[in-house]
């Protein structure tokens, strides 16, 4: 487990999760939409360092509990450190969700940007459902990459100069067919849940629109710029031949890969912390209730 990829990404996770939501929106969902008014037992599939726990526990009623499950031992260690001095009741379990058995003992099961990394999302959703008591709620925060890519505006450039939507849509679909892992899973979760027998299904989008404003507070904007770079926008595409070769292996034609290299090279050069940029991650938030 020491070589688990996400164990090396704690810094990335901590710098980018906040780009998706405003805290008051999560509070609105919990208190006004899902109406969680009594203590709940929460289990988080692919919990990472416990990000969702840090957001949900201050908002749900006292005496609620949070159990996080992840395959990364460094992630679990970090999560335990994050919650060490808090008043919340937490437990973290190291293990492979694909092979673990879970008791039907939870009021809420959640996942955050987890299903896109698995080859069998419907099977994982079934496992999540299996954790819940009658009347329990499943909540999935998952991306829809193609709508995310459509949600950038860099002042002074046409969006078509920076993002090849048609090509990327085909590339993401090709990736899914090849690997089973689906970066567009967020838009499909409502369908999958219905097919698995979940009731009262609703889907929303994350609310935050990030605005990089050179006329605003410098420290605040530097933090946002760093997080956006960490999230991948404006990243250096690296050596051209290697970049093109990788995309061709993923199903792109040579010309498509070459054009994408030009686009990403342009973005890496023009995206600086003194430009105007708006960006919305547009994650899909799907929930439903289990009726047994």
For the beta carbon of residue 149, count every other beta carbon within 10 angstroms. 19
| Pairing state between β 284-289 and 132-142 | antiparallel
pLDDT for residue 3:
74
Q: Kindly state the average pLDDT of the residues 62-72.
A: 97
Rg (CA), the chain: 20
Chain centroid offset of residue 32 CA? 23
Which domains, from first to last, does the chain contain? 5-144+183-207+282-289 (3.40.50.150)
CB of 142 closer than 8 Å to CB of 192: no
**In the chain, what percentage of residues exceed pLDDT 70?**
99
Instruction: Tell me the whole-structure pTM to 2 decimals.
Output: 0.95
Q: Which residues contact 223 (CB under 8 A, 6 or more apart)?
A: none
Query: Is the pLDDT at 135 greater than 70, yes or no?
Result: yes
CB of 205 closer than 8 Å to CB of 218: no
Burial of 177 (0-12, 13-18, 19+ CB in 10 A): exposed
Which uninterrupted H or E stretch holds 134?
Answer: strand 132-142
Query: Is the pLDDT at 167 greater than 70, yes or no?
Result: yes
Q: Which residues contact 35 (CB under 8 A, 6 or more apart)?
A: none
Distance CA 176, CA 232 (A): 20
Q: Which residues contact 146 (CB under 8 A, 6 or more apart)?
A: 165, 168, 169, 172, 184
Q: Kindly state the average pLDDT of the residues 119-135.
A: 97
Q: Which residues contact 245 (CB under 8 A, 6 or more apart)?
A: 257
Query: Is the pLDDT at 1 greater than 50, yes or no?
Result: no
pLDDT for residue 292:
86
Query: Is the pLDDT at 161 greater than 80, yes or no?
Result: yes
Chain centroid offset of residue 231 CA? 11
């Amino acid at each position: 487990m020491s070589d688990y990829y996400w164990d090396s990404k704690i810094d990335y996770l901590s710098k980018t999760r906040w780009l998706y939501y405003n805290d008051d929106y999560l509070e609105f969902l919990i208190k006004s939409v899902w109406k969680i008014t009594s203590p709940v037992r929460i289990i988080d599939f692919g919990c990472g360092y416990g990000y969702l726990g840090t957001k949900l526990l201050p908002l749900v009623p006292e005496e609620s509990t949070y159990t996080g499950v992840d395959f990364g031992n460094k992630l679990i260690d970090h999560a335990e450190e994050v919650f060490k001095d808090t008043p919340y009741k937490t437990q973290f379990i190291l293990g492979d969700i694909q092979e673990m058995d879970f008791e039907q003992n939870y009021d809420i099961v959640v996942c955050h940007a987890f299903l896109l990394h698995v080859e069998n999302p419907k099977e994982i959703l079934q496992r999540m459902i299996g954790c819940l008591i009658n009347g329990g709620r499943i909540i999935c925060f998952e991306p829809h990459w193609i709508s995310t890519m459509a949600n950038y505006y860099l002042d002074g450039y046409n969006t078509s100069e920076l993002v090849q939507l048609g090509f990327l849509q085909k590339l993401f679909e090709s990736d899914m067919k090849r690997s089973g892992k689906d970066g567009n899973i967020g838009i499909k979760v409502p369908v999958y849940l219905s097919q698995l027998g979940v009731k009262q299904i609703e889907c929303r989008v994350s609310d935050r629109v990030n605005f990089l404003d050179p006329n605003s507070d410098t420290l605040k904007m530097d933090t946002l710029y760093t997080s956006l770079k960490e999230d991948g926008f404006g990243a250096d595409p690296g050596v051209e031949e290697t970049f093109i070769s990788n995309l061709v292996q993923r199903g792109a034609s040579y010309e498509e890969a070459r054009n994408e290299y030009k686009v990403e090279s342009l973005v890496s050069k023009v995206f600086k912390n003194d430009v105007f940029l708006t960006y919305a991650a547009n994650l899909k938030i799907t929930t439903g209730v289990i009726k047994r």
